[in-house]
Amino acid sequence: MDDWSLELRIVWEDLPEMIELETRVHYGEWSACSRAYTKPKFITRDTERLVAWARDPKGVFRLEAGEDTGMGWLVLAFYTIDLAGHARCSVTLATGGNSRDAHTAETWRFAIEMKTELGLIERFGHECLSLGCHRTGVATLCGLAT
């Protein structure tokens, strides 16, 4: 059975400076997992802005954690594709190397465009806010079958 989802969880924290996020994506026959370090505001203030964007989607809303250095990177870009408000989430993950000096071939990359809905994006934003408050659980963005 195919699964169409993105899951986000906190796997490590050194508050107030840093948290480590784990992202798991299942998209049909494709799947990937990556971890990225970021500031706690990613899971609080930035996802509050995502909820507001889902209610009034204009332009592209981008969430980014980590860096494209081979250690761990997560980029979520949310946008609509037409006047009817059909929504997408572009997902980019990179992981693999064990250091900032990782060779290009050591870094594994995954990029997809996930079909979703504005209501599902808003729910994901609320789940991220809960994750930020409680530091446990999973925030899930449900995708739609292609």
pLDDT tens, position by position, 49-77: 999 999 999 999 999 999 888 789 999 99
The CATH number of the domain where 99 resides is what?
Answer: 2.30.31
Domain total in the chain: 1
Share of the chain above pLDDT 70, in %: 92
pLDDT, residue 108, reads 87
pLDDT, residue 1, reads 40
pLDDT tens, position by position, 69-115: 878 999 999 999 999 999 999 999 998 755 556 566 777 889 999 99
**d(C-alpha 11, C-alpha 79), whole Å:** 28
CB distance 59 to 79 below 8 Å: yes
- The CA dihedral of 128, 130, 131, 137, to the nearest 10 degrees, is -110
Integer distance in angstroms from the first to the last C-alpha of the chain? Answer: 14
**d(C-alpha 34, C-alpha 42), whole Å:** 16
Q: Which residue segment(s) compose the domain that 57 sits in?
A: 3-142
pLDDT tens, position by position, 12-55: 998 788 999 999 999 999 999 999 999 988 888 999 999 999 99
Burial 111-142 (b: 16+ CB within 10 A, else e): ebebbbebebbbbbbbbbbbbbeeeeeebbbb
CB proximity list for 105: less than 8 A, separation 6 or greater? none
Question: Helices 118-134 and 45-55 meet at what angle, rounded to 10?
Answer: 160
